Amino acid sequence: MSFKILITGKNRQIIASDISRHIENDVNCEVIGCQPLKSELMHTVLTERPRVILILLRDESPTEVRVYDLLRDYMRAGSAAVIVISNEEDKKTFMFNTGLEKMLFLPRQFSLSVLCDKLREFKNVLAEEKEESYFFEFENTAPAREFERKHILVVDDDPQQLFQIKDQLKEFYEVTAITSGTLVARVLERYKVDLIFLDYLMPKMNGPEVMAMVRGDMRYADIPIVFLTGVAEKETVIKTITEYRPQGYLLKPTKKSEIVAKVIDILG
């Protein structure tokens, strides 16, 4: 898989095609561009899986900046480094209005050589750590980080389902949304999780397999798990409940009243 760099932001037009080619040649990578729109940004991130996300800001409002908060879950899963290019005013707006936990900021009048040096540095570090993020602040052996609010992990290979559940819960809870069961262990190692909503059918690692992995680790065995399932899978899920004994299941698409009620029932 090639080393991919995603360029996004209202000001991404300052990276002309010849500059993108310079980055590709100098860093030996693939440069991808997308608009800073919720659906396009997350679709690109989840399908292309870039290792570095380069955000180019220019006079963006707090509402426009908040779209980048969607990248937080991707960073938590250990998949990317984020570089933000902005002036001081845009930097303040970005830091105040997004939930991203750690980024590298460069001034808007940046040097291309400096940027390429930093990209090569990230490439080397990320290559050594495979899919571990350059920005994690602690080792795997450190205690999991806790949040002020209860932390809910949602696992579903359907991005639209993730967006819906996150919107339903984010007012009251800290929510991390990931698209693959293979990322669950990575999140659990770094963050204290109070509840997991788990899609039943997923590629690579399905819901029952993820649950068996979680229940088989004494550190996480007590985390409540609720299956998310389509109507067609209901009978299969009921059989699985008998074997794995999760804290229940919810039918998709979820209703806000039902999912909030399930969280309150489990977490109080």
| pLDDT-above-70 percentage for the chain | 86
Mean pLDDT for all residues in the chain: 81
- pLDDT band (50, 70, 90) for residue 231: low
- Mean pLDDT, to the nearest integer, of 66-83? 79
How far is Cα 217 from Cα 220, in angstroms, rounded to an integer? 6
pLDDT at 262 over 90: yes
pLDDT at 134 over 50: no
Q: How many CB atoms lie within 10 A of CB 166?
A: 18
How far is Cα 155 from Cα 206, in angstroms, rounded to an integer? 10
Q: Please tell me the least confidently modeled range out of 57-71, 132-146, 159-173, 218-232.
A: 132-146
8-45 pLDDT, tens per residue? Answer: 887 766 555 667 777 888 888 888 888 888 778 877 88
pTM recorded for the entire structure: 0.65
Beta-sheet pairing, 225-229 with 104-107: unpaired
> Cα-Cα-Cα-Cα dihedral of 32, 37, 38, 43, to 10°?
-30
Beta-sheet pairing, 174-178 with 104-107: unpaired
C-alpha 198, offset from chain centre: 15
- pLDDT band (50, 70, 90) for residue 225: very high
pLDDT value, residue 210 = 93
pLDDT value, residue 198 = 94
Residue 104 has φ and ψ, to the nearest 5°, of -105, 125
Six token digits for residue 216: 């088989």
End-to-end CA distance of the chain: 44
How far is Cα 236 from Cα 22, in angstroms, rounded to an integer? 53
pLDDT at 137 over 50: no
